[in-house]
Amino acid sequence: MDNTTFAQECVRLVGGKENVETVTHCFTRLRFRLKDKSKADLAAAKETEGILDALEVGEQTQLIIGPQVNEVFKEVEQIVGAGVADPTPVEDEAADAAEPEKKGFSVGMLLDTVTGIFAPVITAITAGGMVKAALLIMGLFGLPSDSQEYYILNFIADSVFYFLPILLAFSSANKFGCNPYIAGIVGGVLLHPNWTALVNAGEPVSFFSIPVTLYNYSSSVLPIILTILFMSFVERFAEKVSPNVVKAVLQPLLTLGITAPVALIVIGPLGSWIGGIFAAILSFLDTNAPILVPTIVGAVCPLLVFAGMHLAIFPSLQTIQRAAMGYETVCGPGMLASNMAIAGATLGTALRVKNPKNREMSISTGITALCGITEPALYGVVFKFHKPLIAGMIGGAVGGLFAGIMHLKRYAFATPGIPALPTFIGDDPMNIVIAIATVAIAFAVAFIVSFILGVDEDAQAKKA
């Protein structure tokens, strides 16, 4: 079916457009937040052609589509309306404000919140990372690092990370139900050249006799997220106390006038302090147990992707580590091993299956996994036949262990796969060689284990 018909079917399966509160997407999934999750027919969705799987993760109902999800999302947006990504309407804010108290705090809610904040900005982060990777390749082929071309391309690549607080401000505002444009201004306050000048000068600063702690917030994560969470309450307060006749002027004045100084004086330093703790922990692991994180991530990453938790765990931590150390070891090395292991396990399965459709699925999704997009392989082959999952986890663990022993580093962000190998090019020329060896080891181990274990197509056919 075409994308328009398919999108209509997706919306119908989650209870119709009236049941959709918000909808976003990542590389392979439609991520719905529904007013009533019981109206979604996940069983029927799993049997629908074009949907690899359907599941609930925290507060989200997810339909795994595959790499064409962006085109499907555009059609879904036409059906449900662009307003599904807009801030909560004023008349609904009171009800939304009371919702957390009614539901109570849960890990699922926390993961849903973090995912909802980071998922929309992943494409921008990837774009910056791939420009940086292309620049590194140009440098290897002779582009001088002191040339104007290099200088311009470098700040183009770095801009997404420097202005990351503004991007996170916008997505956080959408998640917390407040005005994203005022949130963007607050993010701009933390990055304003005059503030940067104060930070660089290092002289004591006060605001109405209140000491102001000086931090550089470029590339930071937690300060702006905590600030916009605070702003969501300020905005609701300002809406309540502002008379209707001047609400259009007074509400934004109070929101920005209260949020920005509190961000600079209290929340920003608090978020930086918390981020510093995370950075110190990551630095400790990087120095004293470098094999731990890549090995664990290499082994369990398929399970995290299956549960949709990878976007809630990795982006913030890897951004914090990169900002503090200039590289990251939280996600890149382990996910590179895991993705290549899934590719190896899937292509190994292709040699053992007899059904032509299963073989075609294994080959096509295995090639996609080599490019770093593993969901089609996970839902179309790995979790379907079970044994490839064992092979993938073993291969990912072995590849991650090698990456940890060799202290593999990633210098820019992109979905770990063969096209993104340039993100492992850095000061150490051997780092990219280690990355290539990690790819080979993880792929080969998973391929061999998958071929040895084989698959039971008859059992799967009976189950279906």
CA distances from residue 168 to 92, 97, 205, 270, 300 in whole angstroms, order as listed: 23, 21, 26, 17, 27
Tokens (6 digits) for 304: 């995290």
| DSSP reduced 3-state for 152 | helix
What is the C-alpha to C-alpha distance for residues 214 and 197, in angstroms, rounded to an integer? 10
How far from the centroid of its chain's Cα atoms is residue 433's Cα?
27
3-6: long-range contacts, CB 8 A cutoff, minimum separation 24: 3/68, 3/71, 3/72, 3/74, 3/75, 4/75, 6/50, 6/72, 6/75
10 is catalytic: no
Partners of residue 34 on adjacent β-strands: 20
- Helix (H/G/I), strand (E/B), else coil: 212: strand
Q: H-helix or E-strand containing 30?
A: strand 29-34
Residue 352 sits at φ, ψ, to 5 deg, of -105, -25
DSSP SS3 for 77:
helix
Catalytic pick among 26, 178, 301, 331: 26
Amino acid of residue 153: L
**What residues are labeled active site?**
26
